[in-house]
Amino acid sequence: MPPPTAPPAAAAGAQGEQSAMSPMLRSAAQGLAIFFGMQFVMNQFMNKKPETTTVTDQSGQVISVPANTGEIPPFHARPDTLDEGANYNPIPQRIAPMWPLDIPLDITIVVSPTFVSEPVAKTPKDRRVVEEIGFRFGDYKENRVIDTEFTVPNEVKNNGTLWAHFYIGISGSKLDPTTAGYDPSQAYHFVYPLTQYIAQKKVKKTKNLLAASDDVEEEVEEVPTGPIINSHYHPNFTISFIPDSGVMQYPTLQPAVRQYLQMEATGARDATGQNAWYYPIVFVNSFWQLKTHMTTLNSTVTKLPLHIDLNNFANWKFSILSSMDEGAKQTARNAAQGISSPGGGDGSEFEMIKEVLLDTNPILLGTTVVVSVFHMLFEMLAFKSDISHYRNKKNNVGISVRSILGNVFMQAVIFLYLLDNNENTSWMILFSQGMGILLEFWKITTVVNVRIRPADSIIPYRIAFEDKHVLSETEEKTKEYDAVAFKYLYMIAVPLLFAYAGYSLYYDTHKSWYSFVITTLVGSVYAYGFLMMVPSLYINYRLKSVAHLPAKAMTYKFLNTFIDDLFAFTIKMPTLHRLATLRDDLIFFVYLYQSWKYKVDYTRVNEFGQGGDEEQVEDKIANAPLKSIAGADASVSVGDEGADETTAKTSGHAKKTGANKRK
């Protein structure tokens, strides 16, 4: 969770504006309806078990074959020769399932330090981790659980690969290819690695900037160039059969799915020579395996536990999980090789999402999802209201220009910190942070004129902030109160900044002096950023009014602070950081007190020439039908009418001049 910043400066990264609440709620309801509708359709149709049919083979025996082979004949009814003029294609174009459903399967799994098959009878007993008989292929109610342990081979301890040899066949058939009587039409064998090679993240070298250079050189250790890759093992596996895959186009099949395909061993084709068959797909599901639960294999590991869930799995679920898992692994491999991925990141983001889904209470997780939606909604509404307020504001009353400049500085510091300390930071986060900086710059241009003027100093030019017009008495007071507030703010913030910088310089380590400066500044921003709201509260107090503030935007932002409080107690973080998320609540309660004490009627124009419902009034005027006298110039008539409204509005405002408080 990104650390909260000062409420008036935080701007959401929403890219569009919504004119009303009802369209957004309607769109959200439509999205939810579509999602649940798709889930219903998938459960009703895509999970429907394919049927099995019977045919007569060449010997005249009636056998069961899959009924979802399309135009491809069942494997047991395949022709002996190709059609006249047909050519054998070594790469099949279309492939069909080979075995029918509802047949019992025998399954044996052997762990081994080599991918070369060895006779099952000669393998040690503890390496035969699975020996299941009569597993019903295609029955989604069939679920089996295997818990065992095995001795780790010595070859695996030295950063080797642990292989699983799968021997699967129709019940009663020979499973081991090395035994006599083995029939490849009744059984098949394949290998799959149970370990993963994960590249360790490079630890950036840091040093104490005050330490002597000789001491630093002694601590430097020789590290190998390139990524450091170690073999890791996870004890939990889900082995799933995919019974409803049907006929597939082999050349265009996505790689994430193709890696689990086992083609018919003899290379048989149908009469066209273009189509073939495949054994039942076995999905070794490692999607929910977390790196934090993995064991690094080395000489200290002698025995390993193994938990296997054996079941049947829907094809559409298999396609989604295998694609997502392979995508995350490919991103991690690219990051280990120094290859940037689209959108940034190193695969750890997806790992964090899985960790939250697995380790979080379902009720708490559902609550977090709901409040996250509200968080995005409030951010978008705050973004819209903030821009509308500054666009419609006609004076500088109550505006703390120094606070806006301070917010620009703090946003820029956070941006530089993200660039300096996170090479794999998502570009979306950097883009959102950059948009926040541009928004604060734009706010400055609505309040003052930014000019470049010559200067009598080493730097020939300086940036000057000049008033857009001659300031009124109230605006001059605002400027004076802003200066006084920042005077006292500097007296508090600057000593705290120097104290934190001295502590960090003496006790912490840093990559460089630049990194030290950025880290110190961003730490101060996270810790004391809420102080930037204090000048606005002081100005409210001296003016005895809150009418000049963007009430809607502040309400949305303060609602987000309470949502941040909820995240603070649901997401793991240091205690000090958790307490820091509560800092904006104090500002909010002070603002609530000021709103109660300096009450404002937002339906009327206030003493500062603005109202809380200015947007609604302007929309009503803009959408009002044009009225003109027949035969008269419409533009003149409309102009007179508009002038009358303006005169009435101004006279009404004049009657209320001098009142600092409205009830």
Question: Do residues 584 and 452 both lie within one domain?
Answer: yes
Joined together, the tokens standing for residue 165 give 């040899």
**Amino acid 24: pLDDT:** 44
Let me know if residue 156 belongs to a domain.
yes
| Residue 585 in this model has a pLDDT that exceeds 80 | no
Question: Do residues 585 and 486 both lie within one domain?
Answer: yes
* Alpha-carbon dihedral sign for residues 581, 586, 587, 592: positive
| Residue 510 in this model has a pLDDT that exceeds 80 | no
Least confident of 46-55, 405-414, 480-489, 648-657: 648-657
pLDDT tens track for 378-428: 777 777 777 777 777 776 665 667 777 777 888 888 888 877 766 555 666
Least confident of 130-139, 191-200, 397-406, 461-470: 397-406
Q: Which of 2-6, 212-216, 520-524 has the highest mean pLDDT?
A: 520-524
| Residue 581 in this model has a pLDDT that exceeds 70 | no
Joined together, the tokens standing for residue 2 give 């990104």
Joined together, the tokens standing for residue 448 give 């003052």
Question: Do residues 111 and 249 both lie within one domain?
Answer: yes
Question: Do residues 521 and 415 both lie within one domain?
Answer: yes
| Residue 191 in this model has a pLDDT that exceeds 90 | yes
CB neighbourhood size of 27 (10 A):
11
| Residue 80 in this model has a pLDDT that exceeds 80 | yes
Question: Do residues 287 and 409 both lie within one domain?
Answer: no
| Residue 334 in this model has a pLDDT that exceeds 60 | yes
Tell me phi and psi for residue 452, to 5 degrees.
-105, 115
**Amino acid 337: pLDDT:** 63
Relative to beta strand 187-193, strand 195-200 is unpaired
Calpha distance 616→210 (Å, rounded): 60
The answer to whether the beta carbons of residues 287 and 324 sit under 8 Å apart is yes
**Helix orientation angle between 534-543 and 401-421, rounded to the nearest 10 degrees:** 170
**Amino acid 226: pLDDT:** 55
496 band by pLDDT with thresholds 50, 70 and 90:
confident
The answer to whether the beta carbons of residues 268 and 278 sit under 8 Å apart is no
Among 282, 297, 314, identify where a domain stops.
314
Q: Which domain holds residue 265?
A: 53-196+228-314
CB half-sphere exposure, 2, CA atoms < 13 A: 21
What b/e string do you get for 632-645 counting C-beta neighbours within 10 Å, with b at 16 or more? eeeeeeeeeeeeee
Question: Do residues 303 and 384 both lie within one domain?
Answer: no
| Residue 122 in this model has a pLDDT that exceeds 50 | yes
Largest Cα–Cα separation, the chain:
108
Cα separations (Å) of 373 from 10, 28, 389?
18, 10, 24
Calpha distance 569→572 (Å, rounded): 8
Let me know if residue 576 belongs to a domain.
yes
Least confident of 60-69, 422-431, 561-570: 60-69
**Amino acid 228: pLDDT:** 72
The answer to whether the beta carbons of residues 209 and 223 sit under 8 Å apart is no
Let me know if residue 543 belongs to a domain.
yes
Question: Do residues 402 and 291 both lie within one domain?
Answer: no
| Residue 564 in this model has a pLDDT that exceeds 90 | no
pLDDT tens track for 269-287: 999 999 999 999 999 988 8
Helices (H), 87-190: 154-157
Among 556, 579, 597, identify where a domain stops.
597
Q: Total structural domains in the chain?
A: 2
Cα separations (Å) of 182 from 78, 125, 168, 189, 367?
20, 22, 12, 11, 56
583 band by pLDDT with thresholds 50, 70 and 90:
low
What's at 516, amino acid-wise?
A: F
Q: Which of 281-295, 343-357, 396-410 has the highest mean pLDDT?
A: 281-295
For residues 416 and 337, the model is more confident at: 416
**Amino acid 356: pLDDT:** 73
Least confident of 197-201, 224-228, 298-302, 413-417: 224-228
209 band by pLDDT with thresholds 50, 70 and 90:
confident
Calpha distance 516→76 (Å, rounded): 72
604 band by pLDDT with thresholds 50, 70 and 90:
very low
Question: Do residues 173 and 94 both lie within one domain?
Answer: yes
Quick one: DSSP state of residue 51? Answer: P
Average pLDDT over residues 547-560: 70
Least confident of 143-157, 366-380, 487-501, 636-650: 636-650
**Amino acid 590: pLDDT:** 82
Average pLDDT over residues 589-596: 81
Among 597, 621, 641, identify where a domain stops.
597
Cα separations (Å) of 269 from 76, 308, 570?
12, 35, 57
Q: What is the mean pLDDT of the chain?
A: 74
Least confident of 22-31, 55-64, 246-255, 300-309: 22-31
Let me know if residue 326 belongs to a domain.
no
- Structure pTM? 0.58
Average pLDDT over residues 105-116: 94
Closest CA relative to residue 50, chosen from 282, 312, 264: 312
Let me know if residue 436 belongs to a domain.
yes
pLDDT tens track for 621-651: 555 555 544 444 444 444 444 444 444 444 4
**Amino acid 175: pLDDT:** 93
Calpha distance 108→135 (Å, rounded): 11
Let me know if residue 587 belongs to a domain.
yes
